[in-house]
Amino acid sequence: MKISPLQLLRYVASETSCSGNGTFDNSKPFDPGEGQPELTVTVARQEKPQDFEGNFWAVEMTVAQTCKPGQNFPYNFKVSLLGFFALRDVKASLEWEERFVRDNGSSMLYGAAREIVRSMTSRGPWGALFLPSLTFYDPKPEGVKPTTAGA
């Protein structure tokens, strides 16, 4: 086991909402709709203390499901999270760091979003909704090679 160079310092759920779809028919298969749930991710570098070795990053994520008329899906929901991360012990370009934070920070926040949606829907009339697992991995571009500190 090895500690990740990317550490989630804190996150906040800036928006959460959930409502039941009154037209949902439990006897029919789920219809999540194409492109649902909607997912947006924004990554931005943050200012850091002068004595900090590494970089601070913020990742903002929104996961939302909005049922269209006639769509057989039990819930409408929206979860917006803002996470703050520290990245240490990596010597790489800012482009590589941003990609690393996008891939790994998004995975951390999405895990939290999945749990929030499960929790919000668990007492609903159709039971807990488990969002599918996703990967945020995107192969690194050619020519971007990280080197760890001390290597």
For residue 101, tell me if it sits in a domain.
yes
For residue 143, tell me if it sits in a domain.
no
For residue 148, tell me if it sits in a domain.
no
**In this structure, are residues 80 and 15 in contact, taking their beta carbons and an 8 Å threshold?**
yes
* pLDDT surpassing 90 at residue 16: yes
Per residue in 59-83, pLDDT (tens digit) is 999 999 999 998 999 999 999 999 9
Over residues 81-86, mean pLDDT: 94
For residue 42, tell me if it sits in a domain.
yes
* pLDDT surpassing 70 at residue 42: yes
Q: Tell me the pTM.
A: 0.85
Identify the CATH number of the domain in which residue 22 sits.
3.10.420
So what's the pLDDT on residue 150? 43
For residue 135, tell me if it sits in a domain.
no
So what's the pLDDT on residue 91? 83
Number of domains in the chain: 1
Over residues 18-39, mean pLDDT: 92
Q: Tell me the percentage of the chain whose pLDDT exceeds 90.
A: 69
So what's the pLDDT on residue 144? 52
For residue 55, tell me if it sits in a domain.
yes
**What residue numbers bound the domain in which 10 lies?**
6-126
For residue 138, tell me if it sits in a domain.
no
For residue 131, tell me if it sits in a domain.
no
